[in-house]
Structure formats: C-alpha cells, structure tokens
Structure 1
Amino acid sequence: MANSYELTATVRERAGKGAARAARRAGLVPAVIYGDKKPAVSINLPIKESTLIFSKGGFLSHVGTIDLNGEKLSVIAKDFQLHPVKDTLMHVDFLRVGAGSTLTVEIPVKFLNEETSPGLKRGGVINVVRHTVEMNVPANAIPEALVIDLAEADLGSSQHISAVTLPAGCTPTITDRDFTISTIIAPAGLKEADEASEEGEA
C-alpha cells in the first residue's frame, strides 16, 4: 500500500520535557522515531498539518512518510498524546517501517448487507463485541478494514473471525480460539413477545 500521508520534520536537538514544552510553545509537535535496529531520533512536526492528518482517522493503522532533512522515512504511529481541551496532538511515537517488515495493528471492522440481514429486518440489533481486531500484517499491505457480511445473519447468530476472508499475509494475534466479533440480538420487546407466544403454546 502506498504511504498515505507525508509530513516534513526537523530534528529536535535536545531531548527531555523542557525541549518538548519549548517545541509546543513554538507551534510544533514533539515526536520520536524509533525501531528498525536504528537509534531513536527526536523530531518536531508542524502542529496544524499533523493534527489534520490525525483527525482524518486511521492514524495508528496507516503507513506515512516523514521527510527529515531530505531523507524520507516510512513510519507508522504507535502512540500519541492529545491536548485535554484542544484535541491537538501533543506528542507522537513513530515506528520505522523497514522493507518487508510485519506490523501489529488494530484493524477496524466493517459490516455489509445490514439492510438484507434477516435478523435485523426482524428488529434485531448488532451487538459489536470487537470494533477492531489486532492483526499481524505486511507493512506494505495493511487492510483498511475486516469485512463482515450480514446478508444471512439471523437473530441469535454470531459472527466469528473464522467467517472473515482475511487479506493475504494477515493473521489475528489471537490464535487459540475462534473469537466472536459480533452477534445479532433481539430487542427486549421482541424477546418478551416470543416468550409470551411460547407460554401460550404450552
């Protein structure tokens, strides 16, 4: 997958809280790039551009490019801090993405064919157990989402990871069980009606 964003950074000569606070006062986001068996590098990023990219979503699951003094580094954000009031970025930890590397990321879940699901048409609702699934994925082929098809999902059904067509080279980090991603449950009113009907038949 092509790198989804690019940011121009400058080297932060001094590390520590004092240097980070000075960067923020100057309208910059302090960040660190580490990994790929290379020394960690402290950098500063433009706050406006960085926060805009963050606000688009998928910040922790998209590979980006950091232009550092003309050297373009492939990275993925592993952690971040937000301002408690302004919701702007205050700090970012980036992991270098080497050629052929595998990453562990949270992949969002997407549901299809909700309008034709028998369970939902009968008034059921989706109970999402996992909004994201932690996956081991190729750095150059991170899927945008795991797709759950609800076309035949009826009341009481469960959708497990085994029912998902996983992209090539992608595996869940949980391997010891066929874990549940979602279920189709009946609303309280429908349950009560079914129970009353069963009692009448009895």
Structure 2
Amino acid sequence: MSNAITASKREQTGSLNALRRDGKIPAVLYGKGITPQLLTVRENEAQKGIELNSFIDLKVNGQTHRVMVRDIQKDPIKSSLLHIDFLKVEMNHPLEAEVSIRLTGEAPGVKGGGVLQHQLRSAVVKALPSSIPEVLEANVSSLQIGDSVTVEDLKIPEDVELLHITPETVIASVVPPAKAEEETEETEELSDTDKTE
C-alpha cells in the first residue's frame, strides 16, 4: 500500500489531547539527514491511509518526503489513533522492519480435536524498502496434532533477510485439547502415587 497524505508542523508546547479532540493525530518525522519534526495529521486522512510498514508520500509545508509508517500507537479500548512515527527512507538503502506473520490454510489436526496455537506473530526483516513484504505467510495445512510450523518453513524472498531469530523457532503448532492434557496429567499423578505406595 502506498499513497499520499498531508501533515502540518506543530509546536512542542500544547496538549496532545486537545489536538486529538480537534481531530488531529500527533506524529513525528525522522530519518537520516533530517532534523526530527513534530507534526499533526488529520484523523480522517490517517484512518484511511495509514498502516504499519506502509510507504507514504508525506507532504509537509510544500515538501514531499517518502516515508515508512514505523510505529502506530492506538488507544487499547477505543482503537483510535494516538500517535504515528514516520521514518524517511532512502529507496536504495536497506532498512529493518517488523512484519506480521499470518497463518494460511486449515490444519487437519484442528478438525481432529486439536487446538491451533499461534506463538510467533511477527518477525524483523532487513531489505530495501521496496522489497519489504507486507506480511509473511505460514501455511498450516499439513499440521496434525503434535505438529508445528517453524521459521524455516516460511517462504522468504531472496532479497529479504530475517533478523534476530533462528530457523527452529516455532510459529504455530497444533496441540491436544486441554481436557486431554488434564486427563494425561491426572493419570501420571495417579501412577506416581501408586509407585510411592
């Protein structure tokens, strides 16, 4: 996703809550070779045009900056936007970004009574801005109860590097239902009791 939005400079003084009540979202623009700038973005414009890791042409006082949405802070209850970080990017220089991991397919182990657990929901990648994927997909279509899908099962483009993670890291697994686990634990406890008696 890529589009253009307009931002305005803001003073460091003043209430951020007052800005939000006025329909403006506080933001900051930073990056190599520029002084960090405090900004505001109209809420209605931000709601339709901003997603984490998306690239945007940010217009500020007549200048256009190619930026990545580096961070979005939201109200945990209302889900309204509280703050946005814009990182100015150079398209010929690689950068790091956190990318969500989405599960695809249906695990047959779930149909058999198992529970699908999604342990790893994002990963940090390094690539040129134009090569950073919007999402990484992990296919769970072959998972039976007791099976798992790991980082090495991800299909990573050749020009994208995964950081701070090992190939053996589990992304998702199908585990037995809790009731079955509890029955197993009770059986083991009774067995241990019999041995001590």
Which band: TM-score by shorter chain?
Answer: 0.7 to 0.9
Q: Give the match for residue 137 of structure 1.
A: 127
Alignment counterpart, residue 43 of structure 2, candidates 14, 23, 47: 47
C-alpha distance in structure 1 between counterparts of 2:15 and 2:153, whole Å:
50
Alignment of 1:1-202 (within 5 A): 4-12=2-10, 14=11, 16-18=12-14, 20=16, 23-24=19-20, 26-54=22-50, 59-83=51-75, 86-114=78-106, 117-176=107-166, 178-190=168-180
Amino acid at match of 2:81: L
Scaled by the length of structure 1, what TM-score is found?
A: 0.76
Change (3 A) 1:149 1:79: closer
Q: Which secondary structure does the structure 1 equivalent of 2:47 belong to?
A: helix
Instruction: Say if 1:47 and 1:88, in contact at 8 Å, map to a contact too.
Output: no
Amino acid at match of 1:36: K
Q: 1:59-96 CA deviation, whole Å, 9 max, x = no partner? A: 22211221123322111222344457654323322110
Instruction: Say if 2:5 and 2:49, in contact at 8 Å, map to a contact too.
Output: no
User: Aligned-pair RMSD on alpha carbons?
Assistant: 2.9
Change (3 A) 1:26 1:186: closer
Give aligned-pair identity as a percent: 27
| Unaligned runs of at least 5 residues, structure 1 | 196-202
Scaled by the length of structure 2, what TM-score is found?
A: 0.78
Greater shift, 81-90 or 123-132, is seen at: 81-90
Amino acid at match of 2:5: L
Q: Which secondary structure does the structure 1 equivalent of 2:41 belong to?
A: strand
Instruction: Say if 1:64 and 1:75, in contact at 8 Å, map to a contact too.
Output: yes
Q: Which secondary structure does the structure 2 equivalent of 1:140 belong to?
A: helix
Change (3 A) 1:90 1:190: closer
Q: Which secondary structure does the structure 1 equivalent of 2:14 belong to?
A: helix
Greater shift, 94-103 or 157-166, is seen at: 94-103
| Unaligned runs of at least 5 residues, structure 2 | 186-197
Amino acid at match of 2:158: A
Instruction: Say if 1:29 and 1:89, in contact at 8 Å, map to a contact too.
Output: yes
C-alpha distance in structure 2 between counterparts of 1:178 and 1:43, whole Å:
42
